Structure 1
Amino acid sequence: MIRTTLALALAAGFLAAPAPGFMTAPASAAPLCDGTKLGFAGLLAKCNRGETVKLTLASGQPLYTGEGPVKLQSGAYYTLEITADGSAELAITGPQFLRAIWINEIVINSIEIRPMAIDSIEFDKAGVVEMSFIAIKPGTFDLHIPGTSGDTQKVEFTIQ
């Protein structure tokens, strides 16, 4: 209500515009390549692709072997490759992260799935899942193995 009132007052000229740096919008993020090179593929263009993020689901092993959070650029296209070794029936979940991205497709055994949304992926035996997506909502999120609390059983994503 206060924002609406302030916006109406500014529009009507009752108030002066805020000083620079006051109530500014969050920093905007751009795709990895400039808009003139995106072409017909748009955000799915080859020049807009970030590095593949690789995770391993294995009993007693760390989920992610990289250091620190995985940094993603809002508006950029990524692939998440999850490999399960079959040592245990394991899942990976992270609804907040999975709602902060637009999932293009999930590929399992060369079968392409284009879901609206998912909460988790579970492996009953060894296999590989590739999920391609565009990072959308800035923030810090995680994917983790359900029922675990150790730092090695989760991976943190920061979308800038």
Structure 2
Amino acid sequence: MKMKAIFLAAALALGSGAAGAQQFDYGFAGLMGKANRVTLPDLTLGSGKPVQEAPVDLKSGAYYKMKIVADGSAELALSGGDFFRAIWINEIVINNIEVRPMGVHSLEFDAAGEAEISFIAVVPGSFSLSIPGSSGDSQKAVFNIR
């Protein structure tokens, strides 16, 4: 019975209809606001091309956005379960479709295209996204979360 009274009081305090809804701004603010988002250099997927120019330092608790761009020269993927477990993914945008996954292990491109990922770095350490089956340093992206 107490819960029912609490819900009723909350509903009365909020008001009803459009007037009640105007009291709240449901847009992203604080950490998730555009002003706090850091845009990282693009990652490149192309036959014989380096994925990343240099390792990227991230701050634990900070909000980031980066693009993964495939040129279509080969069917390539970026795999990195350890990296994806060290971050909280807000969304992955592919062809203007926003995906909010519970977990990711890899992203594979069968043709030219791009995916944009926004995330919060969480677990400190050094992590990489690499092209499966490759061993060269230029075939991976390294992220250092501090």
TM-score by length of 2: 0.78
Aligned residues: percent identity?
Answer: 62
CA shift at 1:48, angstroms?
2.1
Task: Name which of 28, 36, 49 aligns with 1:48.
Answer: 36
Task: Name which of 134, 139, 145 aligns with 1:153.
Answer: 139
More strand by share: 2
Alignment of 1:1-160 (within 5 A): 41-65=29-53, 67=54, 69-160=55-146
Deviates more, 1:42-51 or 1:106-115: 42-51
Let me know the Cα RMSD of the aligned residues. 1.4
Provide the rounded CA distance (Å) in 1 between the counterparts of 2:86 and 2:133: 22
Consecutive unaligned residues of structure 2, counting only runs of 5 or more, are 1-26
Provide the rounded CA distance (Å) in 1 between the counterparts of 2:123 and 2:93: 23
Greater relative CO (CA pairs within 8 A, separation 6+): 2
TM-score by length of 1: 0.72
Q: How many aligned positions are there?
A: 120
Provide the rounded CA distance (Å) in 2 between the counterparts of 1:116 and 1:147: 25
